[in-house]
Amino acid sequence: MADPGPSPTARAEISHGSVGAAGADPPRAGRPPIPKAELHVHIEGTLEAELALLLAGRNGISLPYQDAKDLRRAYEFSSLQSFLDLYYATMAVLCTEQDFADLASEYLERASAQGVRHAEIFFDPQAHAERGIGLARVIDGLWSVLGSSEQTHGISTALIMCFLRERGPAAAMASLEAALPFRDRIIAVGLDGAEVGHPPAAFSDVFDRARAEGFRCVAHAGEEGPPSYIWDSLDRLRVSRIDHGVRCVEDAALVARLRDEQTPLTVCPLSNLRLGVVTELARHPLPRMIEAGLAVTVNSDDPAYFGGYIDDNYGLLQAVLGMTDPQLRTMAEASFRAAFLADEARARHLDALAGWPDG
């Protein structure tokens, strides 16, 4: 890689004012980051501004920004859609296998510095296919790095292909069929993109087919969308995890169901803050979700755009919401329990977590 971008620890410069000093000041200095699994990260959302500009130059693509600082100034979002517009536009710099390999390498470097031991990584094949970038290029590029992540970074990895809900179920089915030759490198299917107005039930045939083909199933639901989207993701898509799910707190019967079934929720606090799902972190529903006995995990979503990686999210929960070490341990434990891991690997990760020193 010609340019590794900002160092994984130089996070202050990618923090915006609203995160405050907590993003720049490690609350647990002197201790290694808590061992954890990352279950909700979009690889295209790890594209840092420096790498985006480097790839734009390498591929002869013009981005309407002078430099990285200028690009980061555009990271002021008012909603999920306002973010998705920039996210899709910027990922247009990802063209070659090498680009996807570089993207994955930078993610692994940062994930390793943040205590990630296992990562299940989303990618958006439809957003690349529409630009003429086929699945082979995307997966071969990502896998050239992720296929050896355990040896190079001590992080096991798996890929989750997402369907863009705004493109509808027919396009999703076509994307699923195009992915069948690559099934050995894809563990699950997911559903992402613009949520409101695109309810999950329309995708039930796609998810039935994916399940029949041996894929696990997850879906973004209850980020901006109503609790009914979470119910339908459970009942119609039969997902084994809900991505985000924070709006479940508006529906007591749903909370009871999620608690009784211990359905994992992949919550992304900084994402919720930056996209206006919550007005401030201090009002985030996560403490209520934990109090209700839900299987909550903490994740980074699109960390290059939201001002922090996964351990920054953990750190903010401690700094802003006053979460305790035992609570962080419980969430890290939930991440390994919710991961699509073999029992032996899960047990090994839980042992490593048990050995994490008290602060």
Among 112, 114, 271, 313, binds ligand ES4 (CB under 6 A): 271
For residue 38, which amino acid is it? Answer: E
Q: Using an 8 Å Cβ cutoff, are 175 and 126 in contact?
A: yes
Total residues binding ligand ES4 (CB under 6 A): 11
What is the three-class DSSP state of 238? coil
Q: Is 42 in the site for ligand ES4 (CB under 6 A)?
A: yes
Give the x-and-dash track for 121-160 against ligand ES4 (CB under 6 A).
----------------------------------------
Of 33 and 225, CB closest to ligand ES4: 225
What does the per-residue mask of binding to ligand ES4 show for 200-229, with x meaning CB under 6 A? Answer: --------------------x--x------
Nearest distance in Å: CB 274, Zn ion? 12
Q: How far is residue 50's CA from residue 69's CA, in Å, rounded to a whole number?
A: 9
Q: Which option in Zn ion, ligand ES4, none does residue 117 bind, with CB closer than 5 to 8 A by kind? A: none
* Phi, then psi, of 289 in degrees rounded to 5: -65, -40
192 binds ligand ES4 (CB under 6 A): yes
Kindly state whether residue 110 participates in binding ligand ES4, applying the rule CB under 6 A: no
Nearest CA to 199 out of 217, 177, 218, 222 is that of: 222
DSSP three-state, residue 278 = coil
Integer angstrom CA distances of residue 165 from 72, 171, 193, 254: 27, 9, 6, 23
- 120 counts as binding Zn ion under rule CB under 5 A: no
- 333 part of the active site: no
Q: In the bound complex, which residue of the shown chain has the CB atom lying closest to ligand ES4?
A: 192
> Which of the following is catalytic: 44, 106, 120, 223?
223
In the bound state with ligand ES4, the residue whose beta carbon lies nearer, of 48 and 302, is 302
Residue with tokens 């990760």: 349
Which whole-number Å values give the CA distances from 168 to 114, 190, 191, 197, 212, in the listed order? 36, 14, 11, 11, 20
CA distance 154 to 64: 37
Query: Does residue 295 come out as left (phi exceeding 0), alpha (psi in the -120 to 50 range) or beta?
Result: beta
User: Residue written as tokens 């996070």?
Assistant: 11
Binding mask 291-330 for ligand ES4 (x = CB under 6 A): ----------xx----------------------------
> One symbol per residue from 290 to 319: x for binding Zn ion (CB under 5 A), - otherwise; what is it?
-----------x------------------
User: Where does this chain bind ligand ES4 (CB under 6 A)?
Assistant: 42, 45, 80, 87, 192-193, 220, 223, 271, 301-302
Mind telling me the catalytic residues?
223
User: Where does this chain bind Zn ion (CB under 5 A)?
Assistant: 301
